[in-house]
Amino acid sequence: MKDMVIGVNKGKIIFIEDETCLSELMSEYNIPPGNVRHLDKRQFLMPGMVDTHIHAPQYVFAGSNMDLQLRQWLSTYTLPTEAKMKDLDFANDVCDKVVNRTLKNGTTTACYYATMYRNASDVLCKVIGKSIYPSCVDLCAASNKQTQTDKTVYRIHTDFVIFLFQNPLLTPIITPRSIRTCSEELIKSLGQLNQTYRLPVQTHILETRSDIIPGCQNHLDVWDKHGLLTNRTILGHCIYLSDNELDLLKLRGCGIAHCPNSNITLRSGLLDVRHVLNMGCKIGLGTDVAGGYSSSILDALRSACQISKTLAIQTDGGSYKALTYQALFRLATLGGSEVLGLEATTGSFVVGKDFDAILVDPLVADSPFDVFSTDTFSDVLQKFLFLGDDRNMIDVFVSGKRVCGNNKMENPRQPIVQKYRTQADIYHIEHRILRYHFAPLNT
């Protein structure tokens, strides 16, 4: 939308009109001149991005520990780290950092996995604004022994739902972690919980080939039987779903959280997003921190692009249609809000929706990409999507409130060399990095 005026009041978009109507709008809504902000050349507003799948506790080791595949990775790194969240000082440090980093990356709506520890989940609720619910696990993946009784888990979750309903920016979500870590009795109780409160649901589905049960015709049956497949159900990964299972997802209105970085990093597989879209299913992007090493949806967009082109290369005859940048942009915004059942609230600029937005400046002094006089808006947008980062996001808004941004007057970036006194110190650091970099591959 070019040369337009967007009006925001109490966090909601109240008008989107041509700029020629500005004077009339200021008069009609009694807007003082100081409340009108004019964008500079090349700046643009875009909807805030939506992360449909992120594990808050795992942010601790994001960017490291990527040497194993899923099962070994979970038992070696993930579960021990999540157990540390019982320490509330540790939990507070983790939650504060993951929320700040997520917002800084332009994610204005996030669907978090927490842990089974209620107090740690309370900590997360104090620092994040959107979708959060403690992850349900009553069977330990390693030992297959019960860690909490079904009744205890049910009671904790009922209390938590009531707690979260007190905040309009928090949506509780039922989170049975996976079919392998939850007994059917627990899944049944969560279905009953959903009957009472009509909540969103999230879980992991067919992330790896090892999740496929030989002879099983429908891997979604247990979820469907207990009423957990609804138009507010978010299914992570779904790499190996059959067409019949995709038809069921479409029928129930469920959405898929596509986590391309994680799928590659943990060597789980390549989801055919084009096929999912052709089947008429809802799909958005997830970072899946820390299986995915980046908490940025821009990274997820880029990884999704690479997977789509890889599938196109592998397809005989060149008939496969790789995802366009427009389709990727939609996955990162409105597609994600549809998956979360929040398309009436966020994901695009429409009167009545929340003003969740990013103000992008391609011309910031330390921009990671360059702009030329011959660049069209389409060129600049694509450069931002594939090369940009938080430095270009000078303002990030959630429900009309500026939550963060790269304003150099407020957040000066000091050159890293100022942290060290002498050139010798810098040399010594570089020397150690080089020694590690050239170490033998088997170490």
- For 103-133, write each residue's pLDDT tens digit: 999 999 999 999 888 889 888 988 765 433 4
Position 157 scores a pLDDT of 64
Please check whether residue 1 lies inside any domain of the structure.
Answer: no
Residue 212, in any domain of the structure: yes
Is residue 435 one of the residues assigned to a domain?
no
Confidence of residue 417 (pLDDT cuts 50, 70, 90): very low
Domain assignment of residue 20, yes or no: no
Number of domains in the chain: 1
Write down the H helix ranges in 35-183: 70-73, 79-83, 88-104, 118-127, 150-164
CA distances from 432 to 245, 423, 427, 437, 440 (A): 52, 15, 9, 9, 15
Cα separation of 352 and 343, whole Å? Answer: 11
Residue type at position 141? A
Confidence of residue 317 (pLDDT cuts 50, 70, 90): confident
Asked whether residue 386 is assigned to any structural domain, the reply reads no
Give pLDDT, residue 151.
59
pLDDT in tens, 31-67: 999 999 999 999 999 999 999 999 999 999 999 999 9
pLDDT (average), residues 268-286: 98
pLDDT at 407: 66
CA 291 to chain centre: 12
Mapped onto helix, strand or coil, the DSSP state of residue 282 is strand
Q: What is the pLDDT of residue 161?
A: 73
The Cα 71–Cα 170 span in angstroms is: 31
Confidence of residue 408 (pLDDT cuts 50, 70, 90): low
Instruction: Report yes or no on 378 lying in a domain.
Output: no
Close Cβ partners of 348 (under 8 Å, ≥ 6 residues apart): 47, 333, 334, 337
Answer whether residue 17 is part of any domain.
Answer: no
Assign residue 115 the CATH number of its domain: 3.20.20.140
Residue 284 has pLDDT above 70, yes or no: yes
Q: Output the DSSP codes for 326-350.
A: HHHHHHHTHHHHHHTT-TTTSSS--
Domain that holds residue 173: 49-339
What is the enclosing helix (H) or strand (E) of 398? strand 393-398
Averaged over 19-28, what is the pLDDT?
96
Q: Is residue 136 part of a domain?
A: yes
User: What does the pLDDT look like over 153-203, one tens digit per residue?
Assistant: 555 566 677 667 667 788 889 999 998 888 889 999 999 989 888 999 999
Whole-angstrom CA distances from 47 to 13, 330, 332 are 12, 10, 9
